[in-house]
Structure 1
Amino acid sequence: MPSDFPVSHIISSTQNVNQTESDALALYIHWPFCVAKCPYCDFNSHVRSQVDYETWLTALSFDLRHEHLVNGTGPISSIFFGGGTPSLMPPHLVAKLIGEADRLWGLEDGCEITLEANPSSVEAARFTDLAAAGVNRVSLGLQSLDDQVLEFLGRAHDVAEGLSALDIAQRVFSRVSFDLIYARPGQSESGWEAELGRALSFGTDHLSLYQLTIEPGTRFETLVRSGELIPADDDHCADLFELTQAMTARAGLPAYEVSNHAKPGQESRHNLTYWRYGDYIGIGPGAHGRRLNSATERHKKPENFLSAVERNGNGLKVEMTLSAETRAAEALMMGLRLSEGVNLTRLGEKTGLGVSRMIDEQAVVRLEKLGLLERTETHLTIVPKGMPLLDAILPEIIASN
């Protein structure tokens, strides 16, 4: 791809300022490349023997500028580099993208800038340079504290390497989170209790604790269909979930979202924007966005994304206006994952819909009697007892229009 894209795509951003000065945006930047594909992963990740970093800097910069043309009002409240494996990005590329976002929209004071990282020694060696580039929060994919499990999950690091990376991250970055996967085949309650207890002893202010799910199109799905892999049963998963909630709450990291736990004030600002259905811009291969009542999606395959940017000055594959009913349904599906629930009054103001057009009030009354949710004059909240049943509850309470 040439370094200079068609100048016809560069238009004065003053033509498209459609929001008030007080509105803030979140920015998601997708880096699609990984060293290897994990057998449980259904994210948009690709293995390539070579990556032309300058070409990608140019393409992602053009994608940013296009979004600024559409929605030029900031400032940016958070930036999240996801993937793929963003810690494979050269720090100078990260710095330039942060600088471009700042030039276009401006960054809020204390803007949260998160980067997902694999805990390999090669990537951990870049942490100091990534912090100098502007990253102030890292999300580390430890996934397990057991070497055999890491091998089962297809991870390239072992426990010692992961804990070394965690130690470096805690010294370099002001905020650190890490992921663990539980409810794995054959995992006992006592085994998870010991592993989680060890994880809580490391003193991070945020944990993302995900139950292993078998996603379509993954190697694990193939193994399940052939009978070579037997997932944990639902009752056992529910027991592990309750144990997780109790242990993290006692340790001062209560769940603020169904799978995310944090010390008060250390919640992920970026992810809260998603769950509270705020506006966010998504650039890079396969990235999704929600801004100005529209949904956007970029081309997933890296080569197709680059070709689209070269043709059009952006990587868009889909851009569509969402109806008020669709926006309300999406906001409920996201917001009810949070312990704070959904502010129905605020949602009604944003969508122009009455409560009866957003929720099935009869279903809400029935589920409230079962002790699975709470309804107040302004809020709808799934209580802890109902969280393991969230996927079943949501279709019942969202109004069908």
Structure 2
Amino acid sequence: MHERDHRKPTVNKSATGPLALYVHWPFCVSKCPYCDFNSHVREQVDLVAWQAALLADMAHEAALTPGRKLSSIFFGGGTPSLMPPALVETLIAAAERLWGFEENTEITLEANPSSVEAANFHDLAEAGVNRVSLGLQSLDDQTLEFLGRAHDVEEGLAALDTAQQAFDRVSFDLIYARPGQSLEDWQKELDRALSFGTGHLSLYQLTIEPGTRFETLVRTGKLVPADDDHCADLFELNRSIMTAAGLPAYEISNHAKPGQESRHNLTYWRYEDYVGIGPGAHGRRLDSATERHKKPENFLSAVERNGNGLKVEQALSPETRAMEALMMGLRLAEGVDLDALAEKTGLAAAQMVDQKSVNHLSGLGLLDAAGGRLTISPRGMPLLDALLPKIIADI
């Protein structure tokens, strides 16, 4: 631990800047075998109770962040497209009343591409949602079945068409590095995905997360993941195809036309303040970390008992904030401005990064450290998880 006498005073300029708001809706129709998100299947959901709880949780956060406006709202899950549009409208109106909106506030909702949920898209747009993120996941029916998705390709593309009619901005997700997936197959799928003309695509490598059904299948030898070299080749293919199509990677897994980047997710990656409400939601505000109770029933009980769903509220040290900011920011093509981070945390750059490792990795062409900005190179980005422990100082 470094002596505090060597630090600059900590300055939190974000204390008066705009905020992002995350709202977690934890319910799903079924649990996907690769998913480790906080999602739950329930036969019935008491919408009156949930509306009251989310409004109370929101009001608690607003009272702690006076004078700040929202730059974005993100409804995540779970499956927030299962929320009645009237509930979404109520939450958006409450957020605007409690904080106020920045100009052109981005309001995103994650949606499953089923015909039932797509039927609500126009009503959700009327409720105030102006951006939707669709979980298509694949353009192959056999793969969708493997991934445990309830929709097929035809239904998913119909939902995409409805979304493009209803919302100003549309993004969708695809999962790659599936077992048996060749470079040729993936290239064809990407070419087809680009033909739909959305301004944003999220391309996620299939990872085997602890506690999922896929992890059990791998452990018992019934599922063999793609090897690292093949995953790297697929990643490079993503970069070349998407860049050529005018949707370069602005984050390790996210590609967008200029101006179509997710404002909300950039708040996370740039380590700016955001508040999270709903079961299991995390937040970073006023140099503190917050976490809500994860199980839906426990969250409701906490709100009834305390007026909010908080499970953890903990002040973060400058060292922890620097580490988190680097871990998030180095995912971005723009990298991290070390001088700005030093001003925000009160730590000198030498206290945040291992300069010897930075010099070595820079010489290998895996990162760039010019002008006080640290950026992972295109060559280094597939190795990001291995590079981070080398780059970030032992603080």
User: Scaled by the length of structure 2, what TM-score is found?
Assistant: 0.96
8 Å contact kept, 1:336–1:342:
yes
Corresponding position of 2:227: 233
Amino acid across the alignment from 1:395: P
Structure 2: 5+ residue runs without aligned partners? 1-11
For 2:223 and 2:16, the matched residues in 1 are separated by 51
Unaligned segments of structure 1, at least 5 residues: 1-17
Aligned to 1:164: 158
Partner letter of residue 270 of structure 1?
Answer: H
In structure 2, distance between residues paired with 1:39 and 1:360: 39
Deviation of 1:300 (Å): 0.5
1:108 to partner: Cα distance:
1.0
Secondary structure of the corresponding residue to residue 157 of structure 2: helix
Match of 2:183 among 172, 189, 211: 189
SS at match of 1:138: strand
2-structure distance, mates of 1:389, 1:73: 41
Q: Are 2:83 and 1:89 equivalent residues in the alignment?
A: yes
Deviation (angstroms), 1:70: 1.4
1:21, 1:73 within 8 Å by CA — same for their partners in 2?
Answer: no
Cα deviation digits, residues 15-54 of structure 1 (max 9, x gap): xxx9889510000000000000000000000000000111
User: CA offset at residue 394 of structure 1?
Assistant: 0.4
Provide Cα deviations, 1:96-124, integer angstroms capped at 9, x if missing partner: 10011101100112100000000000000
Return the alpha-carbon distance in structure 1 between the equivalents of residues 136 and 63 of structure 2. Answer: 38
Counterpart position of 1:204: 198
> Which residue identity does 2:196 align to in structure 1?
F
Deviation track 1:163-211 (CA, whole Å, cap 9, x = no partner) reads: 0000000011000000000000110110001001100111000000000
Q: For 2:104, which of 101, 110, 113 is the aligned residue?
A: 110
Task: Identify the residue that residue 215 of structure 2 maps to in structure 1.
Answer: 221
Inter-partner Cα distance in structure 2 for 1:232 and 1:201: 27
Aligned to 2:372: 378
- The amino acid that maps onto 2:208 is I
CA distance in 2, matches of 1:106, 1:230: 49
Distance 1:21 1:318, change over 3 A: closer
- State the match for 1:359 in structure 2: 353
**Aligned mate of 1:398, from 378, 382, 392:** 392
Partner residue in 2 for 1:40: 34
Deviation string, structure 1 residues 340-362 (Cα, Å, up to 9, x no partner):
00011110110011011110000
CA distance in 2, matches of 1:21, 1:128: 36
Q: In 1, distance between residues paired with 2:379 and 2:365? A: 7
Normalised TM-score (structure 1): 0.95
- Does the CA-based 8 Å contact 2:15-2:286 persist in structure 1? no
Deviations 1:102-160 (A, max 9, x none): 01100112100000000000000000000000000000000000000000000000000
Deviation beyond 6 Å, 4+ runs, structure 1: 18-21
Contact residue 132 and residue 171 of structure 2 kept, 8 A: yes
Identity fraction in percent: 74
- Give the aligned partner of residue 56 of structure 1: 50
Match of 1:267 among 261, 264, 269: 261
Q: CA deviation at 1:273?
A: 0.3
Does the residue aligned with 1:256 lie in a helix, a strand or coil?
strand
Q: What is residue 8 of structure 1 aligned with on the other side?
A: none
Task: Describe the shift of the 1:365–1:87 C-alpha distance in structure 2 as closer, same or farther (beyond 3 A).
Answer: same
Who is 1:310 aligned against? 304
Supply the distance in 1 between the matched residues of 2:306 and 2:50 (Cα, whole angstroms).
Answer: 15
Map of 2:70 onto structure 1: 76
Q: Tell me the residue number matched to 2:325.
A: 331
Aligned residue number for residue 124 of structure 2: 130
Q: Distance in 1 between matches of 2:46 and 2:280?
A: 19
CA shift, 1:377, in A, is 2.5
Residue aligned with 1:311, SS: helix
Q: Report how many residues are paired.
A: 384
Q: Secondary structure at the match of 2:135?
A: strand
Q: Aligned partners of 2:118 and 2:180: how far apart in 1?
A: 31
Structure 2: which amino acid aligns with 1:50? Q
Matched residue type, 2:297: E
Q: Which amino acid aligns with 1:78?
A: S
Could you tell me which amino acid in structure 1 is paired with residue 240 of structure 2? A
Partners of 2:267 and 2:274 within 8 A in 1: yes
For the 8 Å contact 1:29–1:284, the answer to whether it is kept is yes
Partner of 2:327: helix, strand, or coil? helix
Q: Which amino acid in structure 2 is aligned with residue 27 of structure 1?
A: L
Q: Which amino acid aligns with 2:197?
A: G
| Cα shift at 1:73 | 2.6
Q: Say if 2:14 and 2:273, in contact at 8 Å, map to a contact too.
A: no
**Where do residues 293-304 of structure 1 align in structure 2 (5 Å cutoff)?**
293-304=287-298
What amino acid does structure 2 have at the position aligned with 1:82?
Answer: G
In the alignment, structure 1 residue 246 sits paired with structure 2 residue 240: yes
Q: What secondary structure sits across from 2:210 in the alignment?
A: coil
